[in-house]
Amino acid sequence: MMDPTLAEMGNHLSDAMKILETSLILFPFSIFFSDSGQDVVSILQLVQNLMHGDDDKQGQRRMQYVAEQGHMALLGHSLAAYISVLERERLRKLTTRILSDTTLWLCRLFRYENGSAYYHEDDCEGLVKVCRLVINTHYEDYATEGFTMLSSKHPVIYQSAACRPGLGQHLCSQLGLPLSCLCIVPCNTMFGSLHQMDVALLDKLIRDDRESGKVPLLLIANAGTPGAGHTDKLSRLKELCVQYNMWLHVEGVNLATLALGQVSSAVTAATKCDSMTLTPGPWLGLPAVPAVTLYRHEDPALSLAAGLTSSQPVEKLRALPLWLSLQYLGHDGIVQRIKHASQLVEDELNSPVVVFRFSQDSARKFSFLGCMCLGEQLAQQVPLSGVDVVELEDEGTCVRFSPLMTAAALGTQENDVAALVEKLGEMIPVLSCTLRFRQDFKDEVLQQASLSYIEDLSWPGLGGVRYEPRTTDLDEDKRQHSVEKINSDLLKKLMELDTDLYFSGGPEFCEEKNGIFIGMATEDLDVAELVETIVSIGKDIEESGKLFENMTEVVRRGIQEAELQLQKANEEKLMEEGVFRQIPLVGSVLNWLSPVQASVKGRTFNLAEGQKLFRRQGAGSDSVSDTSSVNQLEESFRETAHVQASDAEEAEVPQERHVHIVEETALSDQRVPEGHETESVDTLR
């Protein structure tokens, strides 16, 4: 159904759908470009179809709900396009006002006095501009001489090992610097937190670089690492930067707490840094608003050369969506949203991020699998919690709850956190049992000759198996088809069982095909019985398939044999009766004058002979093969002798069911002369 707002714009839905259907048929991976153009309603309908796709048919989740403050942010993009066509002087005044207001509000909110702001779409773009500013500050002739100024004295950019992956490489690529200009500072290895930058080691690295003629340029620190939300010792790092004339840049989710009344001293130290990058979009639940880099610098010319400021009014309109949203929320609304997200974590003053992982001594190598399973299940069953799975260098795979990045957009409440804790308590015992039984399940499967074990570390359950048919005389294509058919039927049978176990065809991107994957297990699971049941059902399916194939082959051969016999009988009939009796009119006269003594010929075979149905002992024997079954059935063919009509006697009805293929040589429309009725009737019997 079309959205109400789109329906009001026209009544041309049918035309739009025709155009869309034509475009999807002619260009399934692109949009059909009309020669005559399309009306607004058709284009909007096309956009809606592309946005939603087949969500209604496939039962997928619709787009994330956008609150009213989000609509203000989206409105800002439309207004920016409209404002850009204003008269130049009016445009300049308006954009200057918008930019100055937004910058002032953000500096006051996040305690960053006398700061300037750069608004950018990509989170890394602000840091790139800041690096250019620092390079222009340290190398006076860089704007004219370029990289030749850097060749004699290499600049060095320092970053924590806990920073965003690929951040330093991106900076070097954008600035045209070699990777030798990047220095990764490890976190504490002996003293202090394992997630904070090692200040003593950083000091030594800076001194070594200065002694070798390099120029320490900039340090990137964290107020909330991307993975676990840890904050570096910003006060001590600022002292080092002042000592060695370096620029300190800070980023991280904990910067959002600067807007609160009570802030930890570790985060408050970020207000003294030279620049910081804020991401108010996820913090406040605002879609499509820019990130902001606040910085302090006294030379406007260098800021302009670095790209942090622009004389183009249109560039200043980037702040418009944020300008509208901040006014809509107000100071109290902004603080309330950040405070609510922080209080969802018990120890919000130290770090509003919770990271935990599953650990089990008896199955330590499967801990990462347990964390992945735990994170995925929690995200599915408590979607408003916003939990996700992260990879940390030291701890490995962990589950993360970071409400500052998700709560405003998802609307996370305290009852969602309670539901998360409750679901966590339910899942841990099941997950522990599953990982404990995983190796037992593998051992049981490997003991069965008809099963092969499928190793897939992305599957959170017991594991996967595949039933392998025992027939070895099939070519590869036929064998593959047999494996696919048997395992497909086996999966259906297992899913029909009255059990708490979950059976599936496996993960979506599993490399192993035709597998059967078993889900999580409980404490009372009998692994041996489970494997025996899989083998038993698989054998039944395999044997029933063989019986069906054998019956089909026997019937096919029997029909071919019967056709040959009929053809032979027709030839013999032609030789015995002559050609004239085959002519319709002449044959009737000859048959009336001189009736022919007919004989009955036929063959019989038993479909059930040689097969023992529903006997598990036979199903488990490897001696049964397609060839032996067919031979036994073929031996049941019996040739019948010619029976003369005058000597025929009524035979007993057979005990077993037979299929008779009978050739009648006497025609039903033959006239029988007087005196021969009895003989003819006896002959037909």
Do 219 and 302 belong together in one domain?
yes
291, 379: one domain: no
If asked whether residues 405 and 455 sit together in one domain, one would say no
Inter-CA distances, 508 with 156, 178, 372, 458, Å: 45, 41, 15, 10
Q: Is residue 111 part of a domain?
A: no
User: Both 171 and 186 in a single domain?
Assistant: yes
Residue pair 109/117 in contact by the 8 Å Cβ criterion:
no
Residues 492 and 527: their CA atoms lie apart, in Å, by: 20
The rounded average pLDDT for each run of 10 residues, N- to C-terminus, in the chain (685 residues) is: 43 43 43 73 83 55 63 85 90 94 97 96 95 93 81 92 92 94 87 81 96 96 92 96 97 96 93 97 93 95 93 89 94 95 79 83 59 86 92 84 94 94 91 87 92 85 89 74 89 90 81 87 90 92 76 75 81 66 65 62 52 38 40 38 38 39 38 41 34
Looking at 513, 530, 548, the residue that finishes a domain is 548
Are 285 and 366 in the same domain?
A: no
| Statement to judge: residues 273 and 386 lie in one domain | no
Residues 248 and 128 in one domain: yes
Of 387, 424, 422, 421, which Cα lies nearest the Cα of 405?
387
Q: Alpha-carbon dihedral of residues 164, 168, 171, 176, nearest 10 degrees?
A: -160
Helices within 472-526 (DSSP H only):
476-495
Q: Any idea which residue has 């607004």 for tokens?
A: 40
21 and 161 fall within a common domain: no
Distance CA 158, CA 193 (A): 19
Q: Are residue 192 and residue 306 in the same domain, yes or no?
A: yes
139, 226: one domain = yes
Rounded Cα distance between 172 and 505, Å, is 46
Catalogue the E-assigned strands of 191-270.
215-222, 247-251
Residue 216's CATH number: 3.40.640.10
Residues 465 and 421 in one domain: no
Q: What does the pLDDT read at residue 666?
A: 37
Q: Which residues contact 629 (CB under 8 A, 6 or more apart)?
A: 546, 547, 550, 610, 611
Question: 205 and 306 share a domain?
Answer: yes
Residue 419 within a domain:
yes
Give the separation between CA 368 and CA 357, rounded to whole angstroms. 8
What CATH number is given to the structural domain containing 450? Answer: 3.90.1150
Is residue 624 one of the residues assigned to a domain?
no
554 located within any domain = no
- Tell me, yes or no, whether 499 lies in a domain: yes
Is residue 203 within 8 Å of residue 216, measured between CB atoms?
Answer: no
Q: Are 412 and 344 in contact, with CB atoms under 8 Å apart?
A: yes
How many domains is the chain built from? 4
Domain that holds residue 43: 4-63
pLDDT of residue 474: 66
Instruction: Tell me the C-alpha to C-alpha distance, in Å, between residue 366 and each of 170, 227, 432.
Output: 34, 21, 10
pTM for the model = 0.71
Tell whether 540 is covered by a domain.
Answer: yes
Alpha-carbon distance 354 to 448, whole Å?
45
Would 553 be classed as within a structural domain?
no
Q: Is residue 665 part of a domain?
A: no
Q: How far lies 195's CA from each of 156, 163, 349, in Å?
A: 22, 10, 17
Domain-terminating residue out of 494, 528, 548:
548
Annotate 160-190 with three-state secondary structure.
ECCCCCCHHHHHHHHHCCCHHHEEEECECCC
CA–CA gap between residue 593 and residue 628 (Å, rounded): 53
Q: What is the pLDDT of residue 406?
A: 94
Other residues' Cβ atoms within 10 Å of the Cβ of residue 102: 25
Which of 404, 431, 458 delimits the end of a domain?
Answer: 431
